[in-house]
Amino acid sequence: MASLSAAISRSSSSPCFPPPNPNTASLSHHRNIFHSQCRAFPLSRPSLFLRKGLTLPPGRESQSTRICASVADVSLNLSVEEKQLPKGDTWSVHKFGGTCVGTSQRIKNVADIIIKDDSERKLVVVSAMSKVTDMMYDLINKAQSRDENYVAALDVVLEKHSQTAHDLLDGDHLASFLSQLHQDINNLKAMLRAIYIAGHATESFTDFVVGHGELWSAQMLSLVIRKNGVDCKWMDTREVLIVNPTSSNQVDPDYSLSQQGLEKWYSLNPAKVIIATGFIASTPQNIPTTLKRDGSDFSAAIMGALFRARQVTIWTDVDGVFSADPRKVSEAVILKTLSYQEAWEMSYFGANVLHPRTIIPVMRYGIPIIIRNIFNLSAPGTKICHPSVIEDEDKQDLQNFVKGFATIDNLALVNVEGTGMAGVPGTASAIFGAVKDVGANVIMISQASSEHSVCFAVPEKEVKAVAEALQSRFRQALDAGRLSQVAVVPNCSILAAVGQKMASTPGVSATLFNALAKASINVRAIAQGCSEYNITVVIKREDCIKALRAVHSRFYLSRTTIAMGIIGPGLIGSTLLDQLRDQASVLKEEFNIDLRVMGIISSKSMLLSESGIDLARWRELRDEKGEVANLDKFVHHVHGNHFIPNTAIVDCTSDSIIAGHYNDWLRKGIHVVTPNKKANSGPLDQYLSLRALQRQSYTHYFYEATVGAGLPIISTLRGLLETGDRILQIEGIFSGTLSYIFNNFKDGRAFSEVVAEAKEAGYTEPDPRDDLSGTDVARKVIILARESGLKLELSDIPVESLVPEPLRDCASAQEFMQQLPKFDQLLSKKQEEAENAGEVLRYVGVVDVTNKKGTVELRRYKKDHPFAHLSGSDNIIAFTTRRYQNQPLIVRGPGAGAQVTAGGIFSDILRLASYLGAPS
């Protein structure tokens, strides 16, 4: 002991224990620490020095004696008036981590927060400045490695705190702190020199050294607050917090002794603002120690319990607790409230919330913990408290059965199985006894009710030792065949869903596993405790992020969040995009329908987004970020966003090749919405296959806009059939273009003149022959015929073309329009004959369900017939059914134009949302 004391004395003449706390009248605590440190250092070390040939200077024992005696001789002034510690709601506790006090400016910000807090009394727990604790541990490592650079490293620590003090303080406050700082640094040099000589540092020596960072930050902060005219004291919590070390590298607070220490401290240092050191404490033997991992949070929670504080606020650099890791899930949200149990579960499973032990002290007294962001004071943060408080404060959260999701990576699954395990007492004990012997940590356990297998997850770095221990422990059973295998499944991750309201709520597990299934995630193992606060699954490590996004979206996004891909941003497609832009916010806010366009593709280029395209700028973005069109990549991108529950492709083209993909998309679970008539009017077997897929799966196919644009033609037909009516005939004017032409083909006007007028007004296709041929009307007729139950091909429909035979092969639309006046006489004659008979000409399509046929032709109607009173480009459809036999059911309205067609598509998208769960 004399040799050790001499070694310390040679490095510095200053004492090797911290100088007296200016707020306390007692030095016995520090004197005991010094003697404890001497006792804690191995007595064999001085003899080790001698065996290695180290020369010890003479007079060590007398110097050591003088140091200790100097402590004993100090006289103390105890004339401080003692005051009783007030407890209860008048106290609020704040904890600021190293990032919060990492610079002089941030320390000023902390001081401002404390001063502005309107609580009657405040206790503030602070960590060391950012990186300082690591720097202190580095000092220990260098010293015990006999690296003389520890001296220079200590000078860096001194400079960091000296510079910060100069930025913050002046006058007596600065002089007082710098004097204390230099004294502490000299003490540390002495201790580090002793460690350097010994080549070893005990745990108590290490804890004593590293705790200085908290001492300095607490002193500086208290002086800054005093500088602002606030009565403030700083507390060295080693004088108050008493803890008992455990075998698991943790400590258990001794609340009784700590309460006594606090009351004694406060009686000598009464103040309404107390700045306390986090992380550090003492053992019952007055040996300095630390609270280990997340020690400052733990300090704040313990202090909150000792003071019976109103609340404990943990200040950090995030806005609160997220529903999932925001680095993995961009849709993660800040949770307004969490119960103690929910926070506990999420912490255990790796979420960056609080260490579980931090919750225990405050939970006992129902003291809420608030997680807040010091860099965003406007954010309210997350409150952790009793469930009853949550329900009173946030009625809306009652529907959030799952509060959050957490993951643990780098795990392996160990599976022990065999028929010999069933009914054999002690098997599980033997398995986990072997695991305990190798010191492995079991994260999760799952056992089949048949008792034939037990599987559990352990950290991957420990699985080899676990497997070897189990192979050795059960060698005889394995050889005899009572156990079939000890198998290891590497590269695993755990996904945990946490929520107190999951308990006794039917369907939560089903929803979770449905979301995983939709994302094609295979579950390796499952565990759920009887408390039902969490459901834990083991999955492949490479599937972890995808699984996390999938389940988070299922519980946190609207059930009617739909990822959409728009094919064909032409006239109709661009109009639809503009309508979506104008209505999206209303749908989300009022109807909980979240429509996100993830991709837009044309024949040449495409624009993709991970979270949704800004529809106010989609044209500009396409020019800036567009890439070469690739339909397979486009569909994979839109459907591959597993954080969105539903996917829909909206085909705004008239392309038969695109329509040929519908079957494949529906099989993949992609909903299809389209005005494209090519799929339903193409080969009959293709149509029947699409309808069969519709009936057999939960994937939807909507095509209302294929007939009548925005008019409810197909939905009306289905409504009649589904309610048991029988369709006799469907007759109508299905072409807005031809409706316009024949509504204006009167009063002696030439047919070519009216066609030219329609083309100029934009009612016709670029080539009017596409309209006049009647093919488009025939496609609508065949669609309605098939919807009525007729199995007809397009070729079965006779079509009267209005394109004169000689003009059908014209090289261009321009040539066609030039030649058309030569054939006006034929149609003019028909129009004149109809007029003379008191009738009008109308180009109609007819589905004759009774005779199982369809036709497209030019017909004459009396002037009192509903078809004779159309205007503009209106469509009109008459349903003659068993119920509506004497007076057909009429549907009439605009049947052409980008706005109404896009509106029909939009209506189908909203119908899809209602099928998926949106309010109707």
Question: Contact, 630 vs 638, CB < 8 A?
Answer: no
The three-state secondary structure class of 339 is: strand
The three-state secondary structure class of 649 is: strand
Among the listed residues 534, 516, 525, 494, the one whose alpha carbon sits nearest the alpha carbon of residue 401 = 534
HEC-encoded secondary structure of 839-895: EEEEEEEEEECCCCEEEEEEEEEECCCHHHHCCCCEEEEEEEECCCCCCCEEEEEEC
Query: Side chain identity at 316, as an amino acid letter?
Result: T
The pLDDT assigned to 517 comes to 83
The three-state secondary structure class of 381 is: coil
Rounded to whole angstroms, the Cα distance separating 872 from 804 reads: 24
Mean of pLDDT values over 531-535: 78
**Lowest mean per-residue pLDDT among 54-68, 301-315, 347-361:** 54-68
Rounded to whole angstroms, the Cα distance separating 884 from 882 reads: 6
List pLDDT tens digits, range 699-719.
899 999 999 888 999 999 999
Mean of pLDDT values over 552-576: 89
List pLDDT tens digits, range 807-856.
999 999 999 999 999 999 989 999 999 999 999 999 999 999 999 999 99
For 402-557, the fitting CATH number among 3.90.78.10, 3.40.50.720, 3.30.2130.10, 2.120.10.30 is 3.30.2130.10
The three-state secondary structure class of 126 is: strand
Give every strand in the sheet of 701-702, ordered side by side. Answer: 627-628, 605-608, 593-601, 560-567, 646-651, 671-673, 701-702
Distances, alpha carbon 566 to alpha carbons 580, 646, 658, 714, in Å = 11, 15, 12, 22
Rounded to whole angstroms, the Cα distance separating 294 from 249 reads: 13
Question: Contact, 124 vs 109, CB < 8 A?
Answer: no
Mean of pLDDT values over 129-145: 95
Instruction: Note the residue count of the chain.
Output: 920
The pLDDT assigned to 618 comes to 96
Rounded to whole angstroms, the Cα distance separating 236 from 217 reads: 11
List pLDDT tens digits, range 423-479.
677 788 888 999 999 988 898 898 866 567 889 999 999 999 999 999 998 888 888
Q: What are residue 356's phi and psi, to 5 degrees? A: -50, -35
Range ranked top by mean pLDDT from 545-549, 668-672, 763-767, 858-862: 858-862
Rounded to whole angstroms, the Cα distance separating 148 from 138 reads: 12
The three-state secondary structure class of 475 is: helix
Residue corresponding to tokens 């009548």: 708
String of DSSP letters for 188-227 = HHHHHHHHHHHT---HHHHHHHHTHHHHHHHHHHHHHHHH
Mean of pLDDT values over 109-118: 96
User: So which residues are the catalytic ones?
Assistant: 780
Residue 396 has pLDDT above 70, yes or no: no
Claim: this prediction has a pTM higher than 0.85: no
Q: Do the domains 713-895 and 91-316 match in fold?
A: no
Residue 824 buriedness (CB in 10 A; 0-12 / 13-18 / 19+):
middle
Write out the two tokens for 703.
């095509």
The pLDDT assigned to 24 comes to 38
Among the listed residues 680, 682, 658, 688, the one whose alpha carbon sits nearest the alpha carbon of residue 565 = 658
Q: What are residue 896's phi and psi, to 5 degrees? A: -155, 160
Q: Which percentage of the chain shows pLDDT scores above 70?
A: 87
Positions of E strands within 785-838: none
Question: Contact, 136 vs 212, CB < 8 A?
Answer: yes
Distances, alpha carbon 564 to alpha carbons 329, 598, 660, 754, in Å = 19, 6, 19, 40
| Element of type H or E holding 244 | strand 243-245
Rounded to whole angstroms, the Cα distance separating 31 from 40 reads: 14
Provide the residue ranges of all domains of the chain, joining segments of one domain with +: 91-316, 402-557, 560-702+908-916, 713-895
Mean of pLDDT values over 303-311: 97
Model confidence at 534, pLDDT cuts 50, 70, 90, reads confident
Pairing state between β 605-608 and 593-601: antiparallel
Residue 919 has pLDDT above 60, yes or no: no
List pLDDT tens digits, range 26-61.
334 333 433 444 433 332 222 222 222 333 333 333
Rounded to whole angstroms, the Cα distance separating 416 from 433 reads: 14
CATH topology of domain 560-702+908-916: Rossmann fold (3.40.50)
CA angle (483 as vertex; 480, 486 as ends), nearest 5: 125
Rounded to whole angstroms, the Cα distance separating 236 from 213 reads: 12
The pLDDT assigned to 66 comes to 28
Rounded to whole angstroms, the Cα distance separating 791 from 794 reads: 10
HEC-encoded secondary structure of 418-461: CHHHCCCCCHHHHHHHHHHHCCCCCCEEEECCCCCEEEEEEEHH
Residue 256 has pLDDT above 90, yes or no: yes
Among the listed residues 70, 55, 58, the one whose alpha carbon sits nearest the alpha carbon of residue 13 = 70
Question: Contact, 618 vs 612, CB < 8 A?
Answer: no
The pLDDT assigned to 417 comes to 87
Residue 352 has pLDDT above 90, yes or no: no
Rounded to whole angstroms, the Cα distance separating 858 from 844 reads: 6
String of DSSP letters for 708-771 = TTTS-HHHHHHHHHHTT--EEEEEEE--HHHHHHHHH--TT--HHHHHHHHHHTT-S-SSTHHH
Q: What are residue 536's phi and psi, to 5 degrees? A: -115, 130
Residue corresponding to tokens 């007294």: 365
Mean of pLDDT values over 180-189: 96
CATH 3.40.1160.10, applies to 91-316: yes
The three-state secondary structure class of 289 is: strand
Query: Side chain identity at 495, as an amino acid letter?
Result: L
Residue corresponding to tokens 């902390």: 110
Among the listed residues 439, 846, 913, 893, the one whose alpha carbon sits nearest the alpha carbon of residue 671 = 913
Please give the torsion angle defined by the CA atoms of residues 49, 51, 53 and 56, in that order, rounded to the nearest 10 degrees.
Answer: 40
List pLDDT tens digits, range 585-598.
899 888 888 899 99
Cα distance from N-terminal residue to C-terminal residue, the chain: 84
DSSP 322: B
> Which is more confidently placed, 19 or 274?
274
Model confidence at 332, pLDDT cuts 50, 70, 90, reads confident
List pLDDT tens digits, range 726-758.
999 999 999 989 999 999 999 889 999 999 999
Q: Which percentage of the chain shows pLDDT scores above 90?
A: 65
The pLDDT assigned to 452 comes to 77
The three-state secondary structure class of 236 is: coil
Rounded to whole angstroms, the Cα distance separating 319 from 333 reads: 10
List pLDDT tens digits, range 5-21.
333 333 333 333 343 34
Question: Contact, 599 vs 641, CB < 8 A?
Answer: no
Rounded to whole angstroms, the Cα distance separating 344 from 563 reads: 34
Q: Given CA atoms 656, 660, 662, 663 in this order, what sign does their dihedral have?
A: positive
The pLDDT assigned to 896 comes to 75
Mean of pLDDT values over 895-915: 89
The pLDDT assigned to 428 comes to 83
The three-state secondary structure class of 316 is: strand
CA angle (158 as vertex; 152, 163 as ends), nearest 5: 125
Residue 265 has pLDDT above 50, yes or no: yes
DSSP 822: G
Q: Across-strand partners of 126?
A: 96, 277
CA contacts within 13 A on the Cβ side of 42: 14
CATH 3.40.1280.10, applies to 713-895: no
Question: Contact, 890 vs 910, CB < 8 A?
Answer: no
The pLDDT assigned to 554 comes to 81
Expressed in percent and rounded to 5, the helix, strand and coil fractions of the chain are 45, 20, 35
Rounded to whole angstroms, the Cα distance separating 37 from 68 reads: 12
List pLDDT tens digits, range 474-504.
888 888 888 888 999 999 999 999 988 787 7
Average pLDDT across the chain, whole number: 86
The three-state secondary structure class of 666 is: helix
Among the listed residues 640, 325, 610, 334, the one whose alpha carbon sits nearest the alpha carbon of residue 495 = 325
The pLDDT assigned to 918 comes to 59
The three-state secondary structure class of 367 is: coil
